[in-house]
Amino acid sequence: MSPTEGAGDEAGYRPRRDIALEVTEVFEGLLQPTHLILILVIALVVFGPGKLPEMGAALGKGIKEFRQSMSEITDAVSTTPKAGETPKAAEPAKPAGSEPPTQS
């Protein structure tokens, strides 16, 4: 008898859907507002009020760079030619001095 045929009553075997339900039950109420407040209070005590803004700025910068990288990868994947297509010609690069200077 294969593992997919039984109803889960064999010793040591549990269907995947049972395991998936247990995992969702564990994480179901994880980030409630009171939990977030508790996490922020603990972070304030551990790192101090002077360090938290720096950490927040670093985290925001990291998220921004991650999103930019994901956007670049998505653009690169969507612009690659598929099998049987010919690639489009790229625009020629402009010389460095061709743009007019900007006034401050």
DSSP notation for 57-71? HHHHHHHHHHHHHHH
Give the span between the Cα atoms of 15 and 3, in whole angstroms.
Answer: 8
Give the span between the Cα atoms of 14 and 16, in whole angstroms.
Answer: 6
- pLDDT tens digits, 35-72: 889 988 998 999 888 998 899 899 999 999 999 999 99
| Residue ranges of domains in the chain, CATH in brackets | 16-77 (1.20.5)
Q: Is the Cβ–Cβ distance between 54 and 43 less than 8 Å? A: no
- pLDDT tens digits, 65-95: 999 999 999 998 888 766 666 655 555 656 6
Distance (Å) of CA 9 to CA 3, 22, 23, 74: 10, 17, 20, 46
Give the span between the Cα atoms of 98 and 104, in whole angstroms.
Answer: 19
